[in-house]
Amino acid sequence: MSSLISLEEGLQRFGLTPGDVKQIIVTHLHFDHIALSRKYINATFIVQCKEMLFAKHPHVFLAIDYNSDSFSGLKYRLLDGDQAVMPGVEVLLTPGHSPGGQSVAVSTKEGRAIITGFCAQMSTFVQTPAMKAMGLEVAAAGLHTDCREVYDSALRVKREADIIVPVHDPMFMKMDRIG
């Protein structure tokens, strides 16, 4: 992909419009992950209960990340922890970047792919010699509400995934599709 395209242009490549989308897994309610929610007029948004509770009353230090205009009044399916959302698709509670962050596990022919919901790049999952010397298997994302939780979430993804898709990695800006 040579340049950024609009949401509508991306969906049109698959013969869809935002109105055709019925379910959306929202990894967390930071403004940059929910900003286009109003375009999906027929969708139910799948979110962790912990994330919704925090987003409605965020700590003053983290309030800048949450814009209630983006997520208030939408139709939600609230979850509490890991849960299958449809055959072959499961959400995994992976807190740390936000209190109720979730990642998405998808069964594929190549194995279990996990799309990270927290702020991560592929380098998050590559153990360097310096990390190994400190006993670290993964790197904790710099943007987090709890450094221990985000480390444990990254470690969980590394251990459970056959394929890791860290959506904040710049390599995905150059791809038309994953897989």
pLDDT tens-digit series, residues 49-92: 999 999 999 999 888 999 999 899 999 999 999 999 999 999 99
Q: Report the alpha-carbon distance of residue 83 to residue 74 in Å, rounded.
A: 21
pTM summary value: 0.90
pLDDT under 50 in the chain at which residues?
Answer: 1-2
**What was the pLDDT predicted at 177?**
65
**What was the pLDDT predicted at 5?**
85
**What was the pLDDT predicted at 4?**
78
Q: What is the CATH number of domain 21-169?
A: 3.60.15.10
